[in-house]
Structure 1
Amino acid sequence: MDMRPDPFVPPAPLPRTVPPSRLDIIRIILRNPLELWGEPSYTLPWIKTSFFGQHTLIVNDPGLIKHVLVDNAANYRMSDIRQLVLRPILRDGLLTAEGQVWKRSRKAVAPVFTPRHAKGFAGQMLRQSEDFVRKYENVDAAGHIFDIATDMTDLTFAILAETLFSGEIVSSSGHFADDVNQLLHRMGRIDPMDLLRAPSWVPRLTRIGGQKVLEKFRAIVRDTMDMRLAKMKADRAAAPEDFLTLLLEQAGPDGLTKAEIEDNILTFIGAGHETTARALAWTLYCVANSPHIREAMEREIDAVLATGAEPVEWLDLMPVTRAAFEEALRLYPPAPSINRAAIADDLWTNAKGEKIEIPADITVLIMPWTLHRHELYWEKPRAYMPERFLPENRGSIGRFQFLPFGAGPRVCIGATFALQEAVIALAVMMHRFRFDQTESTNPWPVQKLTTQPQNGLPMRVSPRTISRKA
């Protein structure tokens, strides 16, 4: 008899059973694109459809995903809607650049994010996490309520600022998380003009309020660049050997333009921590509703910390903690859609000999949101079950079945960085504190570039009484 408790099923939109009208599609996309998808998106390997006259192929089949993102990636460019949303914010940053501009940027930043180099950040991640949890030190046994969505944004920003910028981001704002939320709320949404493929110069009324926040971010980037350049000019040896210095040294006719450097810095400040922050918040929420998983994590964390193991080793030494985070990435992928468009006609044949024609200019939607909850590929797809990702089980998960960091040439360059950061942060927090839901904890996932809890994520933080020892 299986004595395990029933797994927690966290909140998410149910698959639609009736196709929405054109007007409904506009309303849903403006409100929350995650609510758009119907049963076929969660049960079929691919679907051909049409949105506002634009033919679209929705892809869930791992083999076809591999074909689009890896085997024939050169035939697929960024889709128009994706670029209409993101380019006004990031311009020629790594997430939005294409062609030679993307190749230059990728080559410039790659050395910082090799697995060996990323592991060198572990000590800084640990120190920033320990500094951050001091905000919880004065809570009594009854606990205190914090907005964990905001807290995780603050924590991951602190880690990013220290690891990539040596703490030298010029920002006078004490409300960085609020600024990020405003930027994503105002600028990170699809506008009706995007659906109509209107040129970028046509005003997007939904984004007017975000321009001020965007200019604030760009001013921070420019001030940060100027301060570091002045330091490098005064005494190059005194300048930190970090991501910022590396990028600035790429300036020149054979490297990056000043505008491209600014765009990449903004990309990493604005988006480099946001994805991890959202996944951390969802992890703490799901774990709070899965007591047996939380207890297993606490035992593991306490045991590893008791050995004095260096933080660079924690990712390998804490498989339960990593699995808990990866399962949250599955259910709430920070990047819920990967958008491409075919450049030329293409053809793919599956293992059964079925041929899928992919005409030029068709939009190809690879949806981690639906792929990660797909009935063909996951047992109890809506349930929070971290055991899927334990070492003895993860071999059954196909490479193109789980795409929290994408795949192919444009795979997320910071994947190792993010996984290590998440495990270290969770270990520091859960070693000393417990995070529980409250009567007001009722998160609803919404897509605003990232998958985030609508109206925040209030949780009760209380000190742990550590009585368990390995």
Structure 2
Amino acid sequence: MDASVRKSTFEPPAPVPRTVPPSRLEIIRTVLRNPLELWGTPSYTWPWIVTRFFGQTTIIANDPGLIRHVLVDNASNYEMSEIRQLVLRPILRDGLLTAEGPVWKRSRKAMAPVFTPRHARGFARQMREQSELFLDRYQSDGQGVVRDVAVDMTELTYAILSECLFSGGIVSEQGDFAKDVDDLLHSMGRIDPLDLLKAPKWIPRLTRIRGLGVLRKFRELVRRTMDHRRAIIRTEREKAPDDFLTLLLELERPDGLTSAEIEDNILTFIGAGHETTARALAWTLYCVAHCPDVREAMEREIDTVTASGVDPVEWLDQMPHVRASFEEAMRLYPPAPSINRDAIADDRYTAPNGEVVEIAKGTTVLVMPWTLHRHELYWDKPRLFDPSRFLPGEREKIGRFQYLPFGAGPRVCIGATFALQEAVIALAVLMHRFRFETTPQTNPWPVQKLTTQPAGGLPMRIIPRKP
């Protein structure tokens, strides 16, 4: 660990753990408003909790051994939670996040080659180029501009994703993309009261009606993109980019993927694939703005590495302070704050101390990165933003199932390496040229939708550092 960097004492905003269990009505209200405000002190201090929500036995799993058991060792006994699917499948259908069984296996196998660490490294140049192009909007008279970096990071990560995976074939779409994504996630990516009651899928969810128009817009965009690329492949194959989009379309066959499955996966990556990274980048800039020592260490590192002329493909390994700050932001504000599974058959887990957790068929197991990452059993001063936890020499002490920003097991995030590299490159480019400062209006509050989002946005003053 770099001894020149003092430990941070900044505690970013987050709900205070409840000390009194909520009533049934409070549970409903809180889940609909912001599930992050539901959790009480036991969720941050006990290894697991067995409770009942609406007649459904639920285990909140914080113990790393129990988490490994459910997500890895006996993963075949656990399927995607019914409530999670009721929320996400109307948006993503058979995309990689929501598909199950043979459809998921086919899709995962088809897409895996694009996201190997070796292949992801090949995207470094495009990531840097798109980040540098993005800087144009921050030009000012030297006094800086105030912008909502939550919106900006959504647009930046979309530009990077579009260029790397779709060769820029979607960027030409006009409109307020960041607002469309926010509207989609705000209305469609949230729990409806009927989901809690596990009402039949055919009953309309009134809370999601507003998002149907945006969803139709996104799907029409995907279809036009697919049709345009198909035409190129059909008439001038040599001119078709060898990217993610072409790969998927060439898998359109009886033993591969259907047209509908390809559409669902493209929508998954456009609508959600960049969203997690965007939120984590915005939270990183916000937290770093409150920690001058951390920011200065990052700036020194960025300036040194970029001045050396080293290829951006090496930045992930050569910028440990930048990576550590991003990973710490994902600890405090995990992009996916919950991982939900339902037990297919009876199961049990025996902890090292001999305690046994009985998991009956139909039990819902909640693995909550939000509570796990802030848990007092596994972290020192867990509510503080302290990137030194993730610097070399300290990062190795963090257990694999203690920190789950990308999940774990067979359904671990396929784009984890892509996202880490993208984040380090984007932060390096942005912070090399600009310094991000908070303003009196910067008062974010974490809210769980599909991702951990800052309610009220993240307005920040962006001041030039270098010409």
Whether the aligned pair in 2 keeps the contact of 1:170 and 1:224 (CA below 8 Å) is no
Corresponding residue for residue 157 of structure 2: 156
SS of 1:161's partner is: helix
CA distance in structure 1 between the aligned counterparts of 2:440 and 2:406, rounded to whole angstroms = 33
Corresponding residue for residue 296 of structure 2: 295
Corresponding residue for residue 102 of structure 1: 104
Matches within 5 A, 1:214-253: 214-253=215-254
Letter in 2 for 1:464: R
Deviating runs (4+, > 3 A) in structure 1? 1-6
**1:172 Cα shift?**
2.9
Letter in 1 for 2:275: E
Pair 1:281–1:356, CA change in 2 (3 A): same
Corresponding residue for residue 67 of structure 2: 65
Unaligned runs of 5+ in 1: none
Matches within 5 A, 1:16-35: 16-35=18-37
Aligned length: 465
Corresponding residue for residue 202 of structure 2: 201
Identity of aligned residues (%): 73
Q: TM (normalized to structure 2)?
A: 0.98
Corresponding residue for residue 185 of structure 2: 184
Corresponding residue for residue 392 of structure 2: 391
Letter in 2 for 1:222: R
CA distance in structure 2 between the aligned counterparts of 1:21 and 1:354, rounded to whole angstroms = 29
Whether the aligned pair in 1 keeps the contact of 2:8 and 2:385 (CA below 8 Å) is no
CA distance in structure 2 between the aligned counterparts of 1:44 and 1:461, rounded to whole angstroms = 41
CA distance in structure 1 between the aligned counterparts of 2:449 and 2:223, rounded to whole angstroms = 26
SS of 1:271's partner is: helix
CA distance in structure 1 between the aligned counterparts of 2:46 and 2:64, rounded to whole angstroms = 12
Letter in 2 for 1:462: I
Show CA shifts across 1:275-329 (max 9, x none).
Answer: 0000000000000000000000000000000100000000000000000000000
Corresponding residue for residue 451 of structure 1: 452
Letter in 2 for 1:34: L
Q: Does 1:343 align with 2:344?
A: yes
Corresponding residue for residue 77 of structure 1: 79
- Larger mean Cα displacement after TM superposition, 288-297 or 165-174: 165-174
Whether the aligned pair in 2 keeps the contact of 1:140 and 1:463 (CA below 8 Å) is no
Whether the aligned pair in 2 keeps the contact of 1:170 and 1:221 (CA below 8 Å) is no
Matches within 5 A, 1:107-118: 107-118=109-120
Letter in 2 for 1:292: D
2:52 counterpart (41, 50, 53): 50
Corresponding residue for residue 168 of structure 2: 167
Letter in 2 for 1:56: T
**1:176 Cα shift?**
0.5
Unaligned runs of 5+ in 2: none
CA distance in structure 2 between the aligned counterparts of 1:173 and 1:363, rounded to whole angstroms = 42
Corresponding residue for residue 331 of structure 2: 330
Pair 1:311–1:5, CA change in 2 (3 A): closer
Corresponding residue for residue 15 of structure 2: 13
Whether the aligned pair in 2 keeps the contact of 1:29 and 1:190 (CA below 8 Å) is yes
CA distance in structure 1 between the aligned counterparts of 2:173 and 2:101, rounded to whole angstroms = 36
Pair 1:10–1:170, CA change in 2 (3 A): closer
Whether the aligned pair in 2 keeps the contact of 1:170 and 1:223 (CA below 8 Å) is no
CA distance in structure 1 between the aligned counterparts of 2:132 and 2:113, rounded to whole angstroms = 27
Whether the aligned pair in 1 keeps the contact of 2:162 and 2:171 (CA below 8 Å) is no
Show CA shifts across 1:40-87 (max 9, x none).
Answer: 000000000011111100000000000000000000000000000000
Whether the aligned pair in 2 keeps the contact of 1:140 and 1:462 (CA below 8 Å) is no
Query: Superposition RMSD on alpha carbons, in Å?
Result: 1.3
Q: Does 1:440 align with 2:441?
A: yes
CA distance in structure 1 between the aligned counterparts of 2:5 and 2:422, rounded to whole angstroms = 34
2:134 counterpart (129, 132, 135): 132
1:119 counterpart (118, 121, 125): 121
Pair 1:3–1:277, CA change in 2 (3 A): closer
CA distance in structure 1 between the aligned counterparts of 2:412 and 2:228, rounded to whole angstroms = 31
